[in-house]
Structure 1
Amino acid sequence: MNRTIKKVAVLGSGVMGSRIAAHFANIGVQVLLLDIAPKELTPDEEKKGLTLDSPLVRNRIVNSSLEAAVKASPSPLYRKADVSRIKTGNFDDNLKEIATCDWTIEVVVERLDIKKSLFDRVEQFRKPGTLITSNTSGIPIHLMTEGRSDDFKRHFCGTHFFNPPRYLKLLEIIPTPNTDQSVVDFLMHYGDLYLGKTTVLAKDTPAFIANRVGVFAIMDVLQVMQKLGLTVEEVDKLTGPVIGHAKSATFRTSDVVGLDTLINVANGLAQNLPNDEARDAFQLPEFLRKMGENKWLGDKTGQGFYKKVKGEGGKSEIQALDLGTLEYKPSAKVKFATLEATKPIEKLADRFKVLAAGKDKAGEFYRQSFAGLFAYVSNRIPEITDALYKIDDALRAGFGWEMGPFETWDALGVQAGVELVKTNGKQLAPWVEEMLAAGNTTFYKVDAAGVKQYYDAETKSYKAIPGVENFIILDNLRASGKVLWKNSGASVIDLGDGILNVEFHSKMNTLGTDVIQGLLKGVDMAEQGYRGLVVGNDAANFSAGANLGLVYMYALEQDYDEINMMIAQFQQAMMRMRYSSIPVVGVPHGLTLGGGCELNLHADKVVAAAETYMGLVEFGVGLIPAGGGTKEMVLRTAAKYEEGEPELNLLRNTFVTISMAKVSTSAQEAFDLGFMRRGDEVVVNSNRAIMAAKQAAIDLADAGYTMPTQKTNIKVHGKNALGMFLTGVHAMKEGRYISAHDQKIAEKLAYVMCGGDLSAHTEVSEQYLLDLEREAFLSLTGERKTLERIQSILTTGKPLRN
């Protein structure tokens, strides 16, 4: 059947329920969020004379939960206003309303009896044929269907979201033997396309896929660290970004999530996996058991593996737990020769051989932990999944690993991994050596068409990963010879169908000379026989902006001619891209700051990932946007002048956006700030963004794209608006809201946005505004306080207010 999701009921408004509700609201779905009605009044309610029958009381629990979610940081909502799509209620008064919902998601406490009792009531009101799913991380899905109707069973499934649902991409789909295949197919597709998830089909085994392997990896690390006598700080250094894991690594992450969660999942696995060859790994070490007894559960109780204390002079300092004595001590800096050897290696996949070859304690840690992990995942096929890529997908999307276990094994070398497993006395699944014996030396490979394939243990052959036809993965195209041109900062890649892509690969994708050269080369090549150009990449962030280090170096040397030339070249590249004969589509995602934002402002169209944090942040380093950013925002503001709102109000709003260095918290908010405009698109699943951008470029070309002409009629207000800005800025300075240097930067920004001190409003050209913004930028690079701000960002990563 054709199925449309217009309204979803979420039963349970706790941390997970309220945030699942928020994410459905993000994508435009109406949500009914329900929870229990209170059984007693609070003292405040009694004072107000309320009763248990008062509507405010009956919905107190659900409303409080939703309010807490809305206030949370980072926000579960793309826009605060999206909360209006969520209607609250309670199980007693409003459960009947699930009859109007297309999908009911149960997210109550992790107790089978409570879930089954709620399902008894759900069956009274649920409309036959609608979806019914449970969000559980540990209870077997099939047990929940006992006593249910056939229609309920056919439409019931496990949908395991990871917290926080907006940000963690994993959604495990766990069917029962009675679930209709059409329901499974729909949930896999809907989760991917509409919720932006990496949807992974899992078997109904304890902890499913991600938690089964992820918690094993953590518990195994605890065993290895005890054998080697490593400290908490040392393990976090070894298990963080150097191996593609979160900066919070093992123990800081455990503190944030809560040690009670780790303890509960580990205990559950130890009890429910009698035949797991590594079952002993889930037994709690003595220190973890005692931490649980002491309620040292991490951030929620104020201490866990780390604790923040007041040091000398009242300054906060972080102390780490000594696992031998269970006493806290000041965190120590960690240094290993093996880690030092990986510093010049930027590509993650190239580090693993160096790490495993280390001659110090770090090298031994990696050899033992890799051996345990490789052995474990090999033995989980076919127990928890038939396909190895699902394990990698689940760990990347659920635990934030850049590379999954099998991808890591490939990077190290499959044969080398097998030898590590054997050397460390672990048990390997036979299919791995059978694969090698047949001459298949990798778990993954890319075919000539750029399609990634995985080794299928059952058929002993390689198969295309399902769903990859919806994604464009630049690494796969690179592996299949689709790179047409490259330098150290950028590549031009053929996406097929007459569309090229410019990819950045500088550090943090900063926009230096090489990247600008690559962008111009991409435009030139596209104009000479192609139909369009996409500017996108697969990195964690689109771009952190212009190369500040270069600006700082030239400014220290007072080489202003070089700075002037550099800014002029950047401006010219933006204008060349904007006024080319082919359509150019930008694909921002993650951090899209400064020059990265300016680049997308000059694209014909933007196809942004929902998680795009875009902004003109130059003010924070004592500068103003000068890569066409100020010009473009003035141009966009002037284009709104005929819409009825007072012109100076519109200009003031734009001034505030730039002077406060506002950054969108989502692509949706980028529309509100003027960085995206009508006609631009948002793609919830970032994996689909480049494919969607390619299609957008094709559509523009098919519609008869014509090269636009530069604007010469941009309305600026001169002294009339400038006086308003200068007065406002002066008042802010006198009120001590801003510093004298903030005032100077703001006045220069106002001067540019007003078109200078013209005597009356005038129409000017884009080049006129580009010259003004470049002159203002240059003058600010000669200011000592600006250089201090730039130095602070470059050395500490923190903005300086001086």
Structure 2
Amino acid sequence: FHTVKEMGLSVEAVDKLTGPAMGRPKSATFRTCDVVGLDTLVHVAKGVADNCPNDERREVFAIPDYVQHLVDHDRLGSKSGAGFYKKVKNEKGKSEILVLDLKTLEYRSKVKVKFATLDAAKAVEDLSERTKLLFNGADEAGDFYRRIFADVFAYVAQRVPEIADEPYSIDDALRAGFGWELGAFESWDAIGFEAGCDAIKAKGLNLPEWLNRFAEKGSGTFYRNRDGIRECWNPQTNQYDPIPGQEDRIALSWLPESSVVWSNTGTTIQDLGDGILNIAFHTKMNSIGSEVLEGLNKVIDLAETDEKWKGVVVSNEGAQFSAGANVGMIFMLAVEQEWDDLNHAIQVFQRTMMRMRYSGIPVIAAPHQMALGGGCELCLHADKVIAHAETYIGLVEFGIGVIPAGGGTKEFVVRLNDEIQEGDMRINRLRDRFLTIGQAKVATSAHEAFELGYLREGIDEVVVNRRDQLAKAKRAAMELAASGYTMPLERKDVMVAGQEGLGIVYVGAHSMKSGNYISDHDQLISEKLGHVMCGGDLSERTEVSEQYLLDLERKAFVELCMQRKTLERMQSLIQKGKILRN
């Protein structure tokens, strides 16, 4: 807060700088204050100042004048309707978020914030690398980051061993309590020990004595990985000690370089031990393009041709599991009307998914956060899914003007068949599955994913602690392999409704269009989706093969890509990050 005043930064600038760009929650700084309540903020700050009279940075807990002004005027944040932000109705009657001007203490419209350092950071997916880039920025943003990191580093270093014996305890508290993706000492490692010390000294702050011993005997970082075990510097023993509680945990970043079996520009295959391979994506948003498909086929090749491999896990440590297929590539092929190439690309995707499903070894998917579109389809074709509780999974292709064509639509029809019990109305089950895809429903949690049919009761599982996920996925692969896993047979007994179901789909889509609930293009997509899910224009209920449904799926996808409105939707997503309803 005091750095903000010294530098004359605006509220919106600070929240832009201290949010996801540096691995912090979207609410960043001032929005978090509004949510928590400024009265609570003041109470906590005064509590620390009153109860820590010998704290070397006690002055930073003094309440800034602009915060005190808000509290004095009962602007306590969200609960009072105004704080650093205020929601009002503008002249046009639309809602607008105003922001507090820290100089005039009056509310004004938000101003778009732009920093060269933040622009450069957008292209850096890895948070550690991005943190270093932010710290070294040559503009005002870089100066801000150096100041706040210096303050944080100096303060947490002084708290060892006062409130924590080892650095990892402080980092654990910051990650769990404040939602930081990197703890303070992890951020210091990313920036570099010497660079952090220089920033601290530049601010005239003191370093504790234990850091001198660390500089002499340590290896330059507070954390290190040795033989798959993560260790942290212990100032009490002056050595690296294993972090407790990781005996049953695995992290890809902890594994030695020798664990890498194969890699390309988009994937890395690593040996998890006990005959289990892991394939991780590291494309932008972990989207699935040709390099990822190559990696998936390679890991199956390795596991099937060498007896020492018993199973495969698909997991990664990115912010998202996978945002889906590479829409940019699909858009370019469609714009250039390369229909044969587009058809082939979709066919390769389908074959890769089917190869995962019908390989000779168990394949476990371990999704977290977003698993959308192609990422969802990958999970649908795994033998088992070990999902993190906060997994947002769904088939969202409808939003960009197409239908799921990586086997997602087919798999929904297969699962529909497996779910039906004696006395069930097949058409009702079909309607529910159709609406899940047609409304691009995304599960708000792994538990809701069971309700929407993305996960299977009695087969797939949910893990609450993200740190336990990979180890549990590995155990699942080992258990399936040990139980005598055999290659499944491709299904040729998938019952489809034919014209009976198509009639209901077409009438429903027409009614929705007549009521102005959907557009003409939505109606077209709905009819294409229904055509696939009903098995085409068959005169009666018929058993078909999975490949038959995949062919219908692919044909519908390519035909929809020929539509101008589909290209407009794709272009909107690529350029603006927004779904266009046209």
TM beyond 0.5: yes
Distance in 2 between the 1:510 and 1:684 partners? 24
In structure 2, C-alpha distance between the alignment counterparts of 1:729 and 1:337, rounded to whole Å: 48
Q: Matched residues in 1 for 2:152 and 2:479: separation?
A: 46
SS at match of 1:276: coil
Q: Residue type of the partner of 2:252? A: L
Q: Within 2, Cα distance between the matches of 1:261 and 1:480?
A: 47
Cα distance in 1 for partners of 2:124, 2:431 equals 46
Aligned residue runs from structure 1 range 621-636, under 5 A:
621-636=400-415
Show the 5 A alignment for 1:644-659.
644-659=423-438
Distance in 2 between residues matched to 1:355 and 1:612, nearest whole Å:
29
Cα distance per residue 1:714-740 (max 9 Å; x no partner): 111111111122122222222222222
Where does structure 1 lack aligned partners over 5 or more consecutive residues?
A: 1-221
Is residue 2:477 matched to residue 1:697? yes
Find the aligned partners of 2:331 and 2:545 in 1 and give their Cα distance: 30
Please state if 1:468 is matched with 2:256: no
Q: Is the contact between residue 367 and residue 387 of structure 2 (CA under 8 Å) also seen in structure 1?
A: yes
Superposed counterparts of 1:619-768, under 5 Å? 619-677=398-456, 678-768=458-548
What are the equivalent positions in structure 2 for 1:45-84 lying under 5 Å apart? none
1:596 is matched with which residue: 372, 375, 385? 375
- Please report how far the alpha carbon of residue 406 of structure 1 lies from its aligned counterpart in structure 2 after TM superposition: 0.3
- Is 2:492–2:546's contact at 8 Å kept on the other side of the alignment? yes
5+ residue gaps, structure 2, are: none
- 1:469 deviation in Å? 1.9
Distance across 1 between alignment mates of 2:429 and 2:6: 64
Q: 1:511 aligns with which of 269, 288, 304?
A: 288
Report the 3-state secondary structure (helix = DSSP H, G, I; strand = E; otherwise coil) of the residue aligned with 1:378: helix
CA gap of 1:795–1:295, structure 2 versus 1, over 3 A, is farther
Tell me if 1:482 matches 2:262: no
Local SS of the residue matching 1:318: strand
Within 1, Cα distance between the matches of 2:137 and 2:371? 37
In the TM superposition, residue 241 of structure 1 has moved relative to its aligned partner by 2.3
Report what 2:43 is aligned to.
264
1:450 aligns with 2:238: no
- Which residue of 184, 191, 209 corresponds with 1:430? 209
| SS, match of residue 271 in structure 2 | strand
Q: Is the 8 A contact 2:218 2:233 kept in 1?
A: no
Other-structure match for 1:521: 298
Partner of 2:279: 502
Q: 1:358 to 1:631 in 2, by over 3 A?
A: closer
CA distance in 2, matches of 1:759, 1:338: 62
Q: Aligned AA for 1:517?
A: E
Which residue among 345, 355, 365 is the counterpart of 1:566? 345
Query: For the Cα contact (< 8 Å) 2:365–2:385, is it kept in 1?
Result: yes
Matched to 1:684, the amino acid is: V
Aligned to 2:553: 773
Query: Are 1:534 and 2:298 an aligned pair?
Result: no
Partner of 1:132: none
Scaled by the length of structure 1, the TM-score of the pair is 0.70
Identity %: 56
Residue 273 of structure 2 is aligned to residue 493 of structure 1: no
Bigger Cα displacement from structure 2, 575-584 vs 465-474? 465-474
- 8 Å Cα contact 1:487/1:514 also seen in 2: yes
Give the CA RMSD over aligned residues: 1.5
Structure 1 residues 740 and 699: alpha-carbon distance in aligned structure 2, compared to 1, 3 A threshold: same
**Alpha-carbon shift at residue 648 of structure 1 (Å):** 1.6
- Tell me how far apart the structure 2 counterparts of residues 315 and 370 of structure 1 sit (CA, whole Å): 39
Structure 1 Cα separation of the partners of residues 469 and 14 of structure 2: 36
Counterpart in the other structure of 1:339: 118
Normalising by structure 2, we get a TM-score of 0.96
Aligned equivalent of 2:181: 402
- Aligned partner (choices 791, 796, 802) of residue 571 of structure 2: 791
How far is the alpha carbon of 1:312 from its aligned partner? 4.8
C-alpha deviation, 1:764, in angstroms: 0.6
CA offset at residue 555 of structure 1? 1.4
**Does 760-769 or 351-360 show the bigger shift?**
351-360
* Higher relative contact order (Cα pairs below 8 Å, separated by 6+ residues): 2
2:141 to 362, 365, 371: 362
Picking from 575, 586, 604, the partner of 2:354 is: 575
Secondary structure at 1:345's aligned position in 2? Answer: coil
Question: Alpha-carbon deviation of 1:299?
Answer: 2.0
One-letter code of the match for 1:371?
A: A
- 1:155 corresponds in structure 2 to none
Give how far 1:242 is off. Answer: 2.3
- Alpha-carbon displacement from aligned partner over 1:405-450 (angstroms, at most 9, x marks no partner): 1011111111221222122111211101111022442101111x11
- 1:234-245 counterparts in 2 under 5 A? 234-245=13-24
1:569 Cα deviation after fit: 0.5
User: Structure 1 CA distance, aligned partners of 2:216 and 2:408?
Assistant: 58
Cα deviation code 1:22-79 (max 9, x no counterpart): xxxxxxxxxxxxxxxxxxxxxxxxxxxxxxxxxxxxxxxxxxxxxxxxxxxxxxxxxx
Q: Is the 8 A contact 1:233 1:331 kept in 2?
A: yes
Code of the aligned partner of 1:250: T
In structure 2, C-alpha distance between the alignment counterparts of 1:346 and 1:584, rounded to whole Å: 27
The answer as to 2:384 corresponding to 1:585 is no
Conserved 8 A contact 1:545-1:596: yes
Where 1:568 maps in the other structure, the secondary structure is helix
Residue 31 of structure 2 aligns to a residue whose secondary structure is helix
CA distance, structure 1, for counterparts of residue 138 and residue 371 of structure 2: 40
| Distance in 1 separating the partners of 2:122 and 2:317 | 22
Q: Give yes or no for contact 2:353–2:407 (8 Å, CA) kept in 1.
A: yes
The aligned residue for residue 294 of structure 1 is 73
Q: Which residue of 2 aligns with 1:550?
A: 329
Q: Tell me the residue number matched to 2:171.
A: 392
Q: 1:419 and 2:198 equivalent?
A: yes
Residue 225 (1) aligns with residue 4 (2):
yes
Separation in 2, partners of 1:346, 1:642:
46
- Which moves more between the two structures, 253-262 or 281-290? 253-262
Partner of 1:248: 27
Please name the residue that 2:154 is paired with: 375
Contact 1:500–1:532 at 8 Å: present in 2 too? yes
Aligned-partner Cα distance in 1 for 2:489–2:30 = 56
Matched with 1:303 is 82
Aligned-partner Cα distance in 2 for 1:474–1:418: 29
| Residue pair 1:446, 1:480 contacting (<8 A) in 2 also | no
CA contact (8 A) 2:323 2:371 kept: yes
Deviates more, 1:682-691 or 1:768-777: 682-691
Amino acid at match of 1:474: L
